[in-house]
Structure 1
Amino acid sequence: MEWNHQPAQYVGRPVKQFVLVFILTILVLISLFCKIPAALYPNHIYGVIMDTRINPDGSIWILTDDSFRFYAKTRSLSYTSSGLHRIFCQTDLYLYNPVEKRVLKKIVTKLDDFPRKCSLAEENGHLWQIFETGDMSKMIRVFDASSGDPLLDTNQFLAGHNELKQGIAAINYKDQQKLIELETKDARKFIYLLDDHSLIPDTQEAVNKNLQKHYAELGRTNIFAFMNEDSNNSSRKMLYRVSGEAAKLSKETLLQNLRIDNLDTGYLTGEDFEYSRLTPEAVYLEPILIYQDNDLVVFLHQDQIGADARRMLTCVNSEGIRKWTVPPDQLFPELMLKKSNAFSDKFFMQDNVKGEKAGKTFVLQVRDCGLEGFDIDSGQKLWQLKIQ
């Protein structure tokens, strides 16, 4: 009897070919699935909000993380983010007209890894996109804020500063100070000041000199701040207007970023500070300061404490007049506390909400949710953009 033996090198080849074709087919389908909705709905914005900037004409730059990823449960009962590295990692930068509900421009940046943190900064008509963290992607891109035309990329930025020729190992952007902290691959540290396009060594002497210059330009300044009504009760807050020398006010109350909601009145005693209570008829429950400038402050606060609390948005001007309050039913439902996770809602809310004013519009940004625009004088809701 003769046996018909197939050579060993051919065993399993059809199976391997089938697996390869199957994987390629899945990748093609995923690619098509990601592109088809964008083609059918060109004015829809996809991804998770990372940052926004408002143009003087009311159009908004919206930066999203539009990477394809999934979530896996770990042994520690937490969830870790994973996905297809080097294939579907990207940020989408949209120029959006919220009144017409139209995408004016879309800029896609392909990445080798998930964008862990990416910020937008506006400087003299220029829009900076700063990729701050990530295992592989650390970049700087600059665009014309009105048109989106590219002006500068990472290589051009490095070429303009010989001190950075070794390349960038770490980037950290600080919004209120409008500066970029840089560390080169040969472990040298610098600070880049957006306002005057200067690069200075990141030493304590240089930082102090820059801060002193900044405070001297501010002179005597004013801020809005919340203070405890009672030293034993941190939930009930009173709104104050505090005046003092910028440097002392910042040093004594740790207000470098001008986002505080837990001032202790002990910091403000003495001749260096003046403070007056605003809206004396009101005490605010668990307020979160969203935005402030010389003229007004905008903040979230609750109708009660504990689970199921509903939040509202209030604006008060520098004279202490409450301009408007947006009721809970006109805000995103995600801003309300839930019984299941009330503690985490309160703990993380400060980092998940942001406010910005441009002209007569105030824009409230809620991460993983969307944007809402309000008339700055009346509080009337002008538009809402839900991002999925």
Structure 2
Amino acid sequence: MKSSKTGSGLTDPTRRTLLKSAGMLVGASALASTIPARASDMSSESTPKSGRGAATATPPIHKPMVGFMLAHEQFPVPELVQLGVAAEQAGFDLLATSDHLQPWQANEGHSGQAWVTMSAIGERTRRVWIGPTVTCPTFRYNPAVVAEAFSSLSLLYPGRIFLGVGSGEALNEQAAIGSWPKWPERSARLVEATEIIRKLWTGDQVAHDGKYYNVNAKLYDPPTTPIPLLMAANVGPKAMYRSGQFGDGLITDPESWKKLQAEFEKGAKDAGKDPKQMPVLVELFVVVGDENDAKTSAELWRFLPNAFKSYFNIRDPQAIQNRATADLPLQKVYEKWPISKDPDVHVKALIEQFNSGATIVNVHSGQADQKQVIEFYGKHVLPRVHQQLNEA
């Protein structure tokens, strides 16, 4: 498979052995033996190690969890922080944040800095996992800076930070630095950047002279707990194979996971990893309401069906919005979303994703009233999902 050669030699056996022996392929299973499964397992006597936001107890990231999406495209940072706190209180296990310079569509209206949001949420929460879906560590962010930032976040909130990485979109990368090469280079850069990040996280001096990056530095404050590094893949088999090969886990959508699961598993196995021990996060769009509510949400997320088919190559959010309006009827956008005020519909949708092999279902609602969605899930959906998962 051509994708196995992506990254200019990074897939050869010697390099893979180096990565594994240095402890840079951080297995999510390493967390399982020391961290209880859910908030209900937390001791009432637990206290933070430092600061209000330090960890008391957190779930292992490869165990089944329900996450909540904090969309920087649609809401300002102060509101996202409040929503993150509310989501933890409602019983969500994980908070994912989008990481953009610009929104996908101009009518979404916002695009705050994700790492700032994560830090503020970490200080105000106690147990949820927090991470981006996803950060692009190759153009507007240098991989060394990404390594430093997430190391610092992990020191603030040990055992609660994950890093999701991807190859980027023109609306962020080209808009920021004016460069937007073809996919083979973007994918190779992602693989090389991931290698640099993992090397720096060891705390050793790193002298990396690669095809795309030259780094000669060390992190003087490296992580003291493992940071799972999940790699995004949508639509294409090469990207899915790459994520299995080079990631600690996967970030994707339900349709891509359904169609390309075998590619991810093959990539993991070819790299000497057990895909059953790797977290798989799927982002599930939902609507707590009726079809009119779905239409309103879909207006803001109209690009989704073509996001990673063509729109990721467009720099201007207004141009993406115009194209999506012309190309996609609203019903096409929401036709596979669970849409209902009946908890059974939502419980069934989440359980179906877990039954497909996903370990994290990240709930994303495009509705304006996010607190209503959080409260609905907290009262009527999450308890039943957790019960079914415990009984399985």
**TM-score normalised over the length of structure 2:** 0.27
Relative contact order, CA 8 A, sep 6+: which one is greater?
2
More helix by share: 2
**TM-score normalised over the length of structure 1:** 0.27
Report which of the two structures shows the higher radius of gyration computed on alpha carbons.
1
